[in-house]
Amino acid sequence: MPGRMHRHVARLALLLACASLAARAQGTLPPVPKDLSSLIGVVDDSIRGGRLVGAVVTVVGTERRGVTDPQGIFQIDSVPPGSHEIVVTHPLLDTLGLEIHSAPFMLAAGQRQQVGARTPTFEEVRAKACTRGGVASGSAIIVGRVLQADTQEPAAGASVSLVFKDKTQKDAVEKVRTGRVGPSGAFAICGLPSTITGNLQATFAGVTTADLPVTTNDESLATAILAVGGNGPGKAMLSGTVKARGGGPIAGAQVTVVGTTTIVETSAGGAFTLAGLPSGTQEAVVRKLGFAKVSQIVHLAAAAPATLQVELEPATVLGTVRVVGQMETGLNKIGFMSR
């Protein structure tokens, strides 16, 4: 019942938004050419609530597309008349391995038509992803995809493992959950507490990714994408800059990728380039004397160089500590140290 009610509310919100948008648009938008049409509407984020911002909405079979604004609203002009449908893509949907397709609709010449779409609800995602029972300590899930870094093909058959603690429990015991990657590259780890901290990694063809930090704060759904590449030298490249927090570039900072032997130092402008790196989800480490070490996850591939922007915080410096042993204390009492 709650899921059905949520869907009714989402549809009602979509209709109201489209009606409001159409009313707002009257008299403000340029007239549509007689031989072309336009679309206007919203995309509803039914997983997290609200609207899906930054989604790309494309008219299937054409090059006509629009992007949803901060209110989830999109507009697509110069659409040829006829039978159409729209497809919605977004990083959230990429992680879930989903595309949203509308039902087919007819568009008359010179018509401005309202059309909308929505993501699946959390209940729908969980029903599809968590089809089997098992050990459960909550109702939250982590879903995502594992891809082969250099081809972007699904790493079907890969295994994923999550090592985590429940942050709401004092002295919580570390637990491990595993999952298997399906033909589309998708995986799901179900029955998790909604507030956790831990690390996620994937293994495929004998290669294991770096640990991807996972932290949730009272969330029902978390998403992640992992890329599996190789070990040892490769053809991937990482470049970027290192600067002080709130300050200028840092020269002489050491940058490396864990598991490799190459270390480079940043230039006077704080720039660096690392070449010959293995593809996949890797851990980059930046060190500089006087600053706290920074570790950051990067997704590397041979086809395109990755970039990394790092800000270093000054290291915490402890005051001088003088350690006095028991023997020295005893000698002071008899005046030996003063003599």
Across the range 259-266, mean pLDDT stands at 94
- What percent of the chain lies above the pLDDT cut of 70? 81
Q: Indicate the pTM of the whole model.
A: 0.74
Taking only the tens place, the pLDDT of each residue in 85-120 is: 999 999 888 888 888 999 999 999 888 999 989 999
Taking only the tens place, the pLDDT of each residue in 52-61 is: 999 999 999 9
Residue limits of CATH 2.60.40.10 in the chain: 2-118, 132-223
Residue limits of CATH 2.60.40.1120 in the chain: 236-312
Query: In the predicted model, is pLDDT for residue 337 greater than 70?
Result: no
Query: In the predicted model, is pLDDT for residue 240 greater than 90?
Result: yes
Residues 278, 300: Cα–Cα separation, whole Å:
7
Query: In the predicted model, is pLDDT for residue 15 greater than 70?
Result: no
- Please state, rounded to an integer, the average pLDDT across all residues of the chain: 85
pLDDT at 98: 83
User: Range with the lowest mean pLDDT among 43-52, 173-182, 327-336?
Assistant: 327-336
Residues 220, 122: Cα–Cα separation, whole Å:
8
Query: In the predicted model, is pLDDT for residue 24 greater than 60?
Result: no
3-state helix, strand, coil in the chain (%, to 5): 15, 40, 45
Contacts of 318 (CB under 8 A, 6+ apart): none
CATH of 132-223 among 3.30.70.980, 2.40.30.40, 2.60.40.10, 3.40.50.300: 2.60.40.10
User: Range with the lowest mean pLDDT among 129-133, 222-226, 263-267, 303-307?
Assistant: 129-133
Taking only the tens place, the pLDDT of each residue in 146-176 is: 999 999 999 999 999 999 999 988 888 999 9
Task: Please compute Rg for the chain using Cα positions.
Answer: 27
Across the range 195-217, mean pLDDT stands at 95
- Compute φ and ψ for 262, nearest 5 degrees: -85, 130
Query: In the predicted model, is pLDDT for residue 22 greater than 60?
Result: no
Contacts of 165 (CB under 8 A, 6+ apart): 172, 173, 174, 175, 196, 197, 198
The b/e string for 11-48 (b: 16+ C-beta within 10 A; e otherwise) is eebbeebbeebeeeeeeeeeebeeebbbbbbbbbbbbe
Secondary-structure class of domain 2-118 per CATH: mainly beta
Residues 326, 318: Cα–Cα separation, whole Å:
24
Query: In the predicted model, is pLDDT for residue 234 greater than 60?
Result: yes
- What percent of the chain lies above the pLDDT cut of 90? 64
CB 50 within 8 A of CB 73: no
pLDDT at 39: 94
Confidence of residue 247 (pLDDT cuts 50, 70, 90): confident
pLDDT at 328: 53
Give 134 or 334, the one with higher predicted confidence: 134
pLDDT at 20: 47
Secondary-structure class of domain 236-312 per CATH: mainly beta
